[in-house]
Amino acid sequence: MTFKETMNPKERCLNALSGLKVDRPPILNPTNVATVELMDLVDAPFPDACRDPELNARLAATEYTELGFDCITPYFSIIQESSALGCEIQWEQKDNWPTVRMTNPIWKNPEDVMIPPNFLKHQDSIAITDSIKILKEQYGEEVAIVGKTMGPWTLAYHVFGVERFLLMSIDNPKETLDCLHRLKEISVLFGEAQIDAGADVLTFPDHATGDLVSGKYYEDFLLEIHQEMVEKLPVPLILHICGKTTDRMGYIAQSGMAAFHFDSKNDPQESMDIVDGKIRLVGNINNPETLYSKGPAEVRAEVYQCMDAGVQMIAPECAIPLATPLENLLEIPKAVRDWCSERK
């Protein structure tokens, strides 16, 4: 039987995030799917598309208009707030992500954490909030607009430097918590600004990743803060942590967030079993191998694996490589629909 859609993309995303009925699982990408091909198509290349609201909106919209995903996700990188805080940014060219230059971290101690008065007026904050306003106006009725606000752990890497912050977490847990509690105010401020601009959903990346810290760290340092974020930010939140995270998914399931964006290093069925219905999962098509260097057949197989396991929302595992071929991304919605036709 051919599967028929009965919902618009926005309704589908918001229903899936609240555990309500959906006609099919949405393709809900929490990070970014802007590729060099799409930048060329709409003449909105990096790094300008990260800094100019109009270019940003134009590029972001292709996720819906060209790829057929159910959402639009305009915050492409992870450095907008850090730039507004004063970190030095390596802006790169269109084939590379902007990054924070780690040679000169701006802060050393918790007391240094200070939100500049013009934070929300900074070009790199406005690039996102004004883009959301444009997208809301153009697509707000039909597509879910997904904003993004960095969690305090990720911000700490940028403002203190990764090494210094990780050393602090070993030597002085109290000071580390102090830093996180101060930094979380930035997460709230930028999140609220995006909600005011029209974001329906916020991704909350907080990179306490499997390769850098243990699962216990999540419980000790982040669980309570994440629960507090759910209280403070009144839209569905999607937590994003890359890498192997099965050792912390039990804690993550207690965060109260609407969904967890999980990495392909975690088996879909095993992950679904661990979270046991306490949080919804979104993911987890592999980026560096499957989407970047394999073909539609392999993409399809991973989509099917997620759907067979009952993963509620389908997406690439993280921000896709900028040279990912379009045909692989286009295969995701096709595979989701075909799965529905075959299994229903």
With CB under 5 A, what is the number of residues at the site for Zn ion?
Answer: 2
Write down the least CB distance from residue 243 to Zn ion, Å.
8
Q: Which is nearer to Zn ion, 175 or 289 (CB)?
A: 289
- Rounded to an integer, what distance in angstroms lies between the CA atom of residue 257 and that of residue 61? 26
In the set 146, 318, 332, 336, which binds Zn ion (CB under 5 A)? 318
Residue 78 near Zn ion by CB under 5 A: no
- Rounded to an integer, what distance in angstroms lies between the CA atom of residue 13 and that of residue 315? 12
Residue 242 near Zn ion by CB under 5 A: yes
Per DSSP bridges, beta strands 237-240 and 144-148 are unpaired
The 280-285 sheet, strands edge to edge: 71-72, 144-148, 201-205, 237-240, 259-261, 280-285, 313-316
Which residues within the stretch 124-163 sit at the binding site for Zn ion (CB under 5 A)? none
Which residues within the stretch 182-211 sit at the binding site for Zn ion (CB under 5 A)? none
The region of 75-83, 153-161, 217-225, 239-247 touching Zn ion under the rule CB under 5 A is 239-247
Q: Which residues on neighbouring strands pair with residue 238, listed in sequence order?
A: 203, 259
Q: Which is nearer to Zn ion, 113 or 258 (CB)?
A: 258
The region of 156-164, 168-176, 222-230, 318-326 touching Zn ion under the rule CB under 5 A is 318-326
Candidates 236, 254, 317, 239; CA nearest to 284 is: 317
Place of tokens 């029209």: 198
The region of 3-11, 80-88, 288-296, 310-318 touching Zn ion under the rule CB under 5 A is 310-318
- Rounded to an integer, what distance in angstroms lies between the CA atom of residue 88 and that of residue 187? 19
Q: Which is nearer to Zn ion, 44 or 318 (CB)?
A: 318
Write down the least CB distance from residue 255 to Zn ion, Å.
17
The region of 133-141, 217-225, 238-246, 321-329 touching Zn ion under the rule CB under 5 A is 238-246
Q: Which two tokens stand for residue 242?
A: 């890359």
Q: Which is nearer to Zn ion, 279 or 340 (CB)?
A: 279
- Return the HEC string of 47-80: CHHHHCHHHHHHHHHHHHHCCCCCEECCCCCCCH
Q: Which residues bind Zn ion (CB under 5 A)?
A: 242, 318
